[in-house]
Amino acid sequence: MTIEVRNLVKSFGSFKALDGVDLKVDSGELVALLGPSGSGKTTLLRIVAGLDWPDSGEVFINGEDALAQGARERHVGFVFQHYALFRHMTVFENVAFGLRVQPRTVRKDEAAIRARVKELLDLVQLDWLADRYPSQLSGGQRQRIALARALAIEPRILLLDEPFGALDAKVRKELRKWLRSLHHEIHVTSIFVTHDQEEALEVANRVVVMDKGRIEQIGSPDDVYASPATAFVHGFIGESIELPVEVEGGAVTLGGRPLRLTADGLAPGASKLFVRRHDMLVGPPGSGAFEGAVRHVRNFGPVQRAEVALSGGQTIEIDAPRDKELRAGDTIGLEPRRYRIFAG
């Protein structure tokens, strides 16, 4: 099943939630909509589900005009951030709900419903919770039940709105892996919304980065990390050093001082230089494009993070390998191994 949206626009009062969005999702894909809050990702998802309506634009599910149908007819599985389980029903009845409300002509008989619910509870590995109520479950268990409930109607597509947003970090990581392997197993075309880049890069086949109601970049997780298309994407994904520079005839200056960096083919004017923290190589003073004094060093994980005051006055944070000895007060040279310059 494919999903396609064309030129979607949606405003809430004076706030433009979606500002001309085009997106195509192929059959069997697992796509992440990634962006900060207010970027329009949840609105996009709700419009595809039929829970919200666009001001203009088109939505197609498997080639059919979805805007001609209500949420009920679209046959879309939707998983909410706060689970939205029916609190007065047992886990079993929650999962069975979609099967029980079907029109009498197509409704399965009781035995078939029981068998299907059992199958789904096995799939999410929670068959032992069938008689509990949602309030007796942990957050992670609730979200898995919500997923089983959405899958019960054999949805054409699956939409997940910040599915792990309300869970603590450890459970979130487990569920991430679990969702990916589940998708591998059932292969339903899925879109999930998240503001957590790690989650998007780890789970999705393709990542759609959004900001202010527009799509900034669509690409594989590798693409959006290694070759960000815009300054926003570079700043949002991965940890970056951002410096305001001037470009003039292929040369780059920072606060009037020339940097030994090239900017061939870039329009002259104020620009932004982006370097990943771990792409700043440390050398002796005078050896690189930058020079600065180390202010603090903190050691954690595989790297040491140093705060460096550049001679131009800016303060940046770099990640250096732990075998490189850095101490507060040292003067060091810095050379970016890779960098990107964006106009603006």
Partner 1 sequence: MTMQIADSIPLSASDAKARAQAAAAQDNLRTEPRAVRITIIALAMIFLTIFVVLPLVVVFAQAFSRGVVAYLAALAEPEALAAIRLTLLVAAISVGLNLLFGLVAAWAIAKFDFPGKTFLITLIDLPFSVSPVISGLVFVLLFGAQGYFGSWLRDHDIQILFAVPGIALATTFVTFPFVARALIPLMQEQGTQEEEAAISLGASGLQTFFRVTLPNIKWGVLYGVLLCNARAMGEFGAVSVVSGHIRGETNTMPLLVEILYNEYQFVAAFAIASLLAMLALITLIVKTVLERHLDEGQEPSDH
Among 7, 24, 26, 82, binds partner 1 (CB under 8 A): 82
Smallest gap from residue 162 Cβ to partner 1 (A): 11
292 is a contact residue toward partner 1 (CB under 8 A): no
97 is a contact residue toward partner 1 (CB under 8 A): yes
For residue 137, the tally of other CB atoms under 10 A from its CB is: 18
Task: Pick the closer one to partner 1 by CB: 85 or 273.
Answer: 85
152 is a contact residue toward partner 1 (CB under 8 A): yes
- Angle between helix 139-152 and helix 169-186 axes, rounded to 10 deg: 20
107 is a contact residue toward partner 1 (CB under 8 A): no
Smallest gap from residue 77 Cβ to partner 1 (A): 7
Among 40, 50, 221, 292, binds partner 1 (CB under 8 A): 50
Identify the sign of the CA torsion 230, 231, 234, 235: negative
Q: Are 164 and 4 in contact (CB under 8 A)?
A: no
Backbone angles phi, psi at 37, to 5 degrees: -65, 145
Q: Quick one: tokens of 231?
A: 């300054």
Q: Are 200 and 41 in contact (CB under 8 A)?
A: no
Nearest to 230 by CA among 267, 272, 196: 272
290 is a contact residue toward partner 1 (CB under 8 A): no
Q: Which stretch binds partner 1 (CB under 8 A): 53-61, 74-82, 197-205, 326-334?
A: 74-82
241 is a contact residue toward partner 1 (CB under 8 A): no
Taking the C-alpha atoms of 62, 64, 68 and 70 in order, what is their torsion angle to the nearest 10 degrees?
A: -30
Among 98, 221, 238, 336, binds partner 1 (CB under 8 A): 98
Among 25, 51, 91, 245, binds partner 1 (CB under 8 A): 51
- Total interface residues for partner 1 by CB under 8 A: 32
Smallest gap from residue 238 Cβ to partner 1 (A): 27
53 is a contact residue toward partner 1 (CB under 8 A): no
Among 49, 215, 241, 243, binds partner 1 (CB under 8 A): 49
Smallest gap from residue 200 Cβ to partner 1 (A): 20
Among 45, 148, 150, 201, binds partner 1 (CB under 8 A): 150
Please tell me the number of Cα atoms within 13 Å of 280 on its side-chain side: 29
Smallest gap from residue 149 Cβ to partner 1 (A): 7
87 is a contact residue toward partner 1 (CB under 8 A): yes
Cα 344 from Cα 341, distance rounded (Å): 9
Q: Quick one: tokens of 37?
A: 């809050």
Cα 135 from Cα 124, distance rounded (Å): 18
Among 123, 166, 171, 281, binds partner 1 (CB under 8 A): 166
Task: Pick the closer one to partner 1 by CB: 105 or 135.
Answer: 135
15 is a contact residue toward partner 1 (CB under 8 A): no
Q: Are 342 and 271 in contact (CB under 8 A)?
A: yes
149 is a contact residue toward partner 1 (CB under 8 A): yes
Q: Which stretch binds partner 1 (CB under 8 A): 142-150, 180-188, 201-209, 257-265?
A: 142-150
Q: Quick one: tokens of 286?
A: 């005078």
Cα 45 from Cα 118, distance rounded (Å): 29
CA 36 and chain centroid, separation? 9
Task: Pick the closer one to partner 1 by CB: 37 or 181.
Answer: 37
User: Amino acid identity, residue 250?
Assistant: G
Nearest to 166 by CA among 281, 68, 61, 82: 82
Q: Which residues of the shown chain bind partner 1 in the complex (CB under 8 A)?
A: 49-51, 70-72, 74-78, 80, 82, 84-89, 97-98, 101-102, 134-135, 139, 146, 149-150, 152-153, 166
